Structure formats: C-alpha cells, structure tokens
Structure 1
Amino acid sequence: MPIGERIKDLRKKAKMNQEDLGAILEVTGAAVGSYERGKREPSIESIKKMCEIFNVTSDYLLGMTDDRYATVRFNSKVELQTLLEVNEHVTLYNHELSKDEKQRIIDVSSVMFATKNQTDNTDV
C-alpha cells in the first residue's frame, strides 16, 4: 500500500480530518491531501511525527511492511533485562513502563526463559 493510502487510512482511523493532521504536522490540510493522493511526499520530520501520532513504525508508514508495530525478539533474559535497564523510557502499548513494571517483566521473563530452556533440553 503506498504511503499516501497509509496516511489516509491512519488519519481516518484516528478520526482526524486533513486540517487536523496538517496542524499537527505544521503544514496545510491541502498538503496532507497531496500526500494522500501521492502528489507530494511528506518531509522526514512529518513522517517521524506521523509515526508518533499513529503509533506505527516508519517501515509500516512507508509501505515496507504490513506490521504496524516494531517487533523485538530476545534470545535470553540478559538481552531483555539489558534493554529495560539501559533505556530510561520504555513504552509498551502506548504506556511508559515504571521501574516496578520493568522489574515485573524481568521477573516473569526469568520464568519464561527457564521453562523454555528446560523444554529445549528435554527435546535432545
């Protein structure tokens, strides 16, 4: 799906008109219409803002994938724990995680990775 169609689809799902989106992007509603019709391409700054507004990845907005959200895979508890500890702001489903929530995820993941490792060892 071309970027213009994605913008229009996301804008409508957000119950916004072209002028609303234009105001956020600091462009005119007519400019948004041009993006949607493929007559003009949004700036990189506008693309970044739309990704934030609509909570999608730039790959999705640009039509490079049909996955709206970034997928992060972890092969170990250490990788997940490092991500949660190193990054001050971690968001999950539009909710910024508190320190307590991050710790709960680490605790739960410990059980998940331990269970996975036990299952992998019994398959040998």
Structure 2
Amino acid sequence: MFGSRLKDLRNERKLTQDDLGKLLNVSGKTIGTWERDSRQPNIESINKLATIFGVTTDYLLGNSDEKKSQKYYELSDKEKNDIAIQAERLMEGIESGHNLNFYGEPATKEQKDRILIAVKTAMEMNKMEAKRKFTPKKHRD
C-alpha cells in the first residue's frame, strides 16, 4: 500500500525517483525499494514525504484514504471569505451610522483596521464553535 501511494504521489508531481531522492537525501534506488515495498523508510522520511506531498502520514501508510486531514470544525476558504465580507459590511454599517470615535476623537485608519481584524477573528471563532457544536458525533474527533 505504502509503495503504490508513494509512486502515485511522485508521478502526480512529475518527479523521478532520483528527484525525490535528492529532496530526502537518499538515492533514487532507495525510493525504488520503497515503491516496491521491499523496504520501508524511517519515520523521519515518512514525515518528510507527507510534507513534500501535502498529505497525512496516515494516508501514506495506508491507514486512511483521506489525503489531507481537515478537522470538522476548520473553516474552509469560502467560509473565511464569507466572514471577511460580513465583517467589512459590519464595519461599513458602524462607520455610516455614527462616526466611530475613541475617547472623543475620530478613529484612525489603523484603529479601524484593528477593529476589522478583531471582528473577523471573533466571527471565525463563532463559526468554528457552531461547527463543533452542530457536527454529528460520528464526524467529531
């Protein structure tokens, strides 16, 4: 299982065995023995391979069919983008409704940027918490 997954990942990246060997400081022949399941790499090499190919070690070792590990509560790029849009709209509403002031002085651009960051962070945290709370137990860690 390991060997075939390694070979598939290497071919997807259009790397030769020698190319991959150079990245790991081993020979191309060593990569060949791993791909034929004649030998197994050490744990350090397995971790490096997972990093190079952007997959989990469990995937490489055949313990999982999921290439990437994403926790059920992690936000997707789309969710992060939606939150950023909502935060921008919130800031526009704050600024257009009443002047945003701190201690009687109009807010500077830097202060507004910090508020926007804080709002986005809070919204992302709330979204992750909701995903944690409402995800079925069978999909949780």
Question: For this structure pair, what is the TM-score category when the shorter chain's length is used for normalisation?
Answer: 0.5 to 0.7
For the pair 1:110 / 2:126, whether they are aligned, the reply is: yes
**1:81-100 equivalences in 2 (<5 Å):** none
1:32 corresponds in structure 2 to 31
Q: Summarize deviations over 1:8-58 as a string: whole Å, max 9, x none.
A: 000000110000100011100000000000111111111010000000000
The alpha carbon displacement at 1:70 in A equals 0.9
Q: Summarize deviations over 1:35-87 as a string: whole Å, max 9, x none.
A: 0001111111110100000000000000001000113134xxxxxxxxxxxxx
For structure 1, the residue ranges without an aligned partner over 5 or more in a row are 75-99, 118-124
Q: Which runs of 4+ in 1 moved over 6 A?
A: 100-103
Root-mean-square deviation (Å): 3.0
Q: Secondary structure at the match of 1:68?
A: coil
The alpha carbon displacement at 1:107 in A equals 1.2
Question: Percent identity at matched positions?
Answer: 40
2:54 corresponds in structure 1 to 55
2:11 corresponds in structure 1 to 12
Amino acid at match of 1:64: N
The verdict on how the C-alpha distance between 1:110 and 1:15 changes in structure 2, with shifts beyond 3 A counting, is same
Determine the C-alpha separation between the residues in 2 that align with 1:101 and 1:61: 37
Normalised by the size of structure 2, how large is the TM-score? 0.56
Determine the C-alpha separation between the residues in 2 that align with 1:16 and 1:50: 13
The verdict on how the C-alpha distance between 1:36 and 1:103 changes in structure 2, with shifts beyond 3 A counting, is farther
